[in-house]
Structure 1
Amino acid sequence: MIRIVSQIVSLVLLMVILTEGNPQQVIDASGQCHCPCECSAQHRPLFQVSARGSAATGRNASTSTSSRRLKIGAFNIKTFGRSKMSKPGVPQRIKQIIERYDVILVQEILDRSGESVRQLHRMLSRTYEFVISDRLGRGRYKEQYAFFYRTDRVSLLNFHQSTDREDAFEREPFSVLVAPKQINNVKLALIGFHAKPTDAVKEIGRLADVIGEVRRQFGADVEPIVLGDLNADCDYADRRRRLRAGDALTTNTSYVWLIGDDVDTTTRDSTSCAYDRIIVGSGLTGRVVRGSASVFDFCDNMRLSKQQCSDVSDHYPVEVTLVF
């Protein structure tokens, strides 16, 4: 009996040693790694290179585990391109900001070569991938949107560049359909949008049509989230102007503006405007973690000087955490 027990113990020890010394990689068809080891570079999924084809509502964060939360952000990085990515310290600070989120919309990408976006992508954790829009704009000045997302937290199901046959937008909204992993029957349509300041009232007024278009594209059951620099305050499209124009997203109680009119989303001392917003349908208001809809003051968080802060952006990211 003693000999048999000894043999069993020896076998168990041998199995432990082999397991610790040789963790096996399990790579699924999409190239994802499902093991505690680091996947080799050859299994890293390729990024998408083209895209054709403060509310008081919500739950207390303590009632849910982190695996069932999703942190979403939107960040206008102010003339994002090779010049910005060459400034000392700036790329690392942008990286830190991006990695706060499970999904984040990046706006005002100017680099037509795409190298600045690829440089940022290479800096990020291996779990991040991105999808990027077409270059948008009526004239020579053009911008792109990009959504960066954590592949271990969400699945990218689809993406859509809004059509604009009536030329209503300077930069047509760009949308992604994502599904939080480990959560069944939840699909979120994130609609990224950067409004032209002088046309912000008119462009915001067309967003209800965009939501309808996105639902036709992705499915009627998806939950829409509009996010980005809407220029929705001060001299451009404050609440009074939007109400006077009869804007559906402002007047319809089916939509909730999570970033309030009293929130300053700009980094400059000379402005105090709620330009950047996150708007959700009423079906998601109960999913908002209480107090999570806000700006991320990276200037204070990273203890930056005014110049260092300005070098990153003149906008704060806006963010919200959803719980399922």
Structure 2
Amino acid sequence: MAQRRGWEEIRVAAFNIQVFGRTKMRSKKISQVLVQILSRYDIVLIQEVRDRSGKAIKELLKLVNTHATDGAYKLNISKRLGRTVSKEQYAFLYKEDSIEVVDVFQFDDTDIGDVFQRDPFSVKFRLKNSKSGLAEFAIVAIHTDPDEAKREICNLTKVHEAVSKKWDLKDVAIMGDFNADLNYVKGQDFVDIDLFTDTKFHWLIGNEEDTTVTATHAAYDRIVVTGEKLLAAIKQDSVGPFHFDEEYGLSEEEACKISDHYPIEMTLQISERIELPQLHGQLVKTSEPSQSNKVWMINEFGHKVGVPDGILKSVFNVCDDDIKTLPSHLCEIREDDCLSNNAIIAKADDTETFLISNGIKRVIADNKTVDRFHFNLDAAVVLPLIAISSIPSGKPIQYPDQALRRFRKRGKSKGHEEERTSKAKSAKT
């Protein structure tokens, strides 16, 4: 199991390697960059495997294993899928020393009207060394037809239902190239998509993201998850596209030879840790004498966040009796970054209220969140709208039972939407 930043965790990704086949593998530079990218992950779903012979993906697996430094990878691949002569396969690479494939499931859409260009392919994984509540979960692979993207996404709820029923499993991630943006799936389309409106589905890649390598700004690639254990395991701020062009110093031309999509990734925390969901949003301290003067906030992810003494009464509306004293095992709860010494509650006129800390503003979602976290709105600093707008935005702070359903489509200016839409014609999918 990969060891990163002192925590035992696994990194999971989905990567549409545009028209992957023998041509890409014949290029030493392209294949080397692919190895660098894929080696970041413990589990990676590859889409657009086009090679009819099946040799290219095996060559890639061999090359990845040649350079592997912390365990070999195995391959699990679907059959060739698609209605046209240009068929594709879904391929999973995973580290065999720490991850086991329990079962696979090829969805058949015959009974629902042949809605998928490439029927979703699902794999159930077991984490061999997990010490957290997450021992098994499934990934549903999907690459939609751009022209039928909305229809296919609408029917992913049926795929999820079939997977959950087959394996009696709630912890499921649907991952891949949804083509869920621009002219393929427009902003107003989302209200008609059950996968988006049903509260059990959590969209981790928001519509504001850009998962494309080209100048097109579009959130084509998505991760949608269900299940409390899987949600609880997701490491805060670990979800998003991996900009391999920036990481490896590639020009846009060089990067597009790898793919026109970025990998999308998330990290799962699977080490043993104490979960105190009933304390989400609460202020706590420990009975440990050496830390008796420290106060933490338990955030919406069940992690503790340090609260400097100087801001305790200005950011939070609490008295000493409101701060819960916990046994010394509080120190075992995972700790995220502390609030900054100059953290404030702020707003601009009658607009949204924000927690501003460490140079980032996070909107406070609603009154339930205010009450749960004891935020002190009476001490809110009124700032000019232009000042609020200039501060980079972080993820919203939400009442814990909705915390991971935070990636909703945010309002864009008309000009921004027109700019995004105007680029749709040049988008490569």
TM-score range, shorter-chain basis? 0.7 to 0.9
Residue of structure 2 in register with 1:169 after alignment: 116
- Shift, 1:222, TM fit: 4.1
Q: Kindly indicate whether residue 264 of structure 2 is the aligned counterpart of residue 318 of structure 1.
A: yes
- Which residue in the other structure is 1:242 paired with? 190
Runs of 4+ more than 4 Å apart: none
Offset of residue 153 of structure 1:
2.2
Distance in 1 of aligned mates of 2:264 and 2:186:
17
Give unmatched runs, 5+ long, in structure 2: 66-70, 271-429
> Which of 225, 235, 247 is equivalent to 2:173?
225
2:202 alignment counterpart: 256
Between the aligned partners of 2:237 and 2:22, the Cα distance in structure 1 is 36
Question: Which stretch of structure 1 is more off in the superposition, 282-291 or 226-235?
Answer: 282-291
- Map of 2:83 onto structure 1: 138
1:212 corresponds, among 148, 161, 181, to 161
Give the share of equivalent positions with the same residue, in percent. 37
- Deviations along 1:265-320, one digit per CA (max 9) or x if unpaired, are 00002x00000001111523222111000110000100012221011000000000
For 2:91 and 2:7, the matched residues in 1 are separated by 25
Map of 2:7 onto structure 1: 66
* Cα contact 1:257–1:279 (8 A) shared by 2: yes
Q: Secondary structure at the match of 1:157?
A: strand
Distance 1:228 1:294 in 2: 12
| Count of residues in Structure 1 that have an aligned counterpart in Structure 2 | 257
Q: Could you list the runs of 5+ residues in structure 1 that have no partner in the other structure?
A: 1-60
Tell me the SS of whatever aligns to 2:144: coil
State the shift of 1:74 in Å: 0.2
Three-state SS of the structure 2 residue aligned to 1:93 is helix
Tell me the distance in 1 between the aligned counterparts of 2:181 and 2:46.
20
Report the Cα distance in structure 2 between the residues aligned to 1:71 and 1:240, rounded to whole angstroms: 33
Residue from 97, 110, 115 that aligns with 2:50: 110
Superposed CA RMSD:
1.5
- Secondary structure of 2:123's counterpart equals strand
Note the C-alpha offset of 1:141: 1.3
Matches for 1:301-312 after TM superposition, within 5 Å: 301-312=247-258
Spell out the pairing of 1:257-276 with structure 2 (5 A cutoff).
257-269=203-215, 271-276=216-221
| TM-score (normalizing by structure 1) | 0.76
Contact 2:211/2:221 (CA < 8 Å) preserved in 1? yes
Question: Contact 1:71–1:319 at 8 Å: present in 2 too?
Answer: yes
Question: In structure 1, the residue corresponding to 2:183 is in which secondary structure?
Answer: helix
Q: Is the 8 A contact 1:192 1:227 kept in 2?
A: yes
SS state at 1:309 partner: helix
Which residue does the alignment assign to 1:181? 128
Distance, in Å, in 1 between the alignment partners of 2:49 and 2:31 is: 14
Change (3 A) 1:228 1:159: same
Larger RCO: 1 or 2 (CA < 8 Å, sep 6+): 1
In the aligned structure 1, how far is the partner of 2:98 from the partner of 2:208?
A: 32
Q: Please report how far the alpha carbon of residue 70 of structure 1 lies from its aligned counterpart in structure 2 after TM superposition.
A: 1.9
